[in-house]
Structure 1
């Protein structure tokens, strides 16, 4: 993981310590001069999870945590009820060529999340740092496509362009055409998901490099 250095405040100029007054005549000086006061600032800091991909789902128990456990060594809590995930978890997907892709399990988003319903903005801020998204839909419920519509609406209402980031739509639990239908429980079609995830990552790396940027490595 890469990091950047940021100086929040500068310290004041230091004073002269007793070694400054050391001389042949005074081998143990006790004199000193005080330093100058440094800067004082009040900062509001927000922690935003950094990952290449973000697992995004809505109110239903779509199985993001089970999926993350299936494709990485992360061990988020798994239970048969909505909102099992209360804090983001990051898992690392390892490929045979030793490339690593970081995937974050983002807590569920409900309608009105961009207006801070259900602590929505606290969760949405983590998605800002993701370079591409994995929408996880629960295909066991009626009209699952509405979940995707709601999620994209909330992302776009929170930050313009956020819903347009490169993505893959994952249909979890049952089969459906035109999405990656998989079962995190049995492992069905996980390989297809990992291939799509790698394609998104490779495209991200090429785009960053073409713009003279350094892609985030894990």
Structure 2
């Protein structure tokens, strides 16, 4: 008697698939896995496209911002108006070995010592002749009257200043709590929050109007009381 085909033979126990059914099930499983892999690849491609598009938009935005910023000319510092500003043109700039009787307190320029004052924060009065030399290099000098500006006020003032080319020191008997000085320029300030402080720095800090802009503000004289 001829045996029945293999895939038509009865199973060994009820519920077991025939060979034909098992093959069909395997094909279905492989097809499902293939479709799942295709869907995953499609999702990954979509994520890559979206991510790349977002990155491209960000880069374009940065480029546009750079172009716009670069194309916008910075204002001429000399055009910055500062209420109460006093200017003193045609100052001499000779090196001397004697004290100088300056007409302003603190001074804004003129003859001065051959060694500059190192920029920084001082808790004691600094020698005018050396401080003026620092102004010659483009520094800004923030003098404060300790009778009108307490320690908290000094800290508030320091927080608003650049880290370099700045001199901060006490000067007794000022007409205002703070006086900002640069070479040939000066303004009296009411307090550390006076908006003219920022304007003065924008106009005169490391200004090319100083006789020697960019010259060193370190490697000179450390006066007593320097704390920073």
TM-score range, shorter chain: under 0.3
TM-score normalised to structure 1 length: 0.23
Structure of greater Rg:
2
The structure with more helix, counted as a fraction of residues: 2
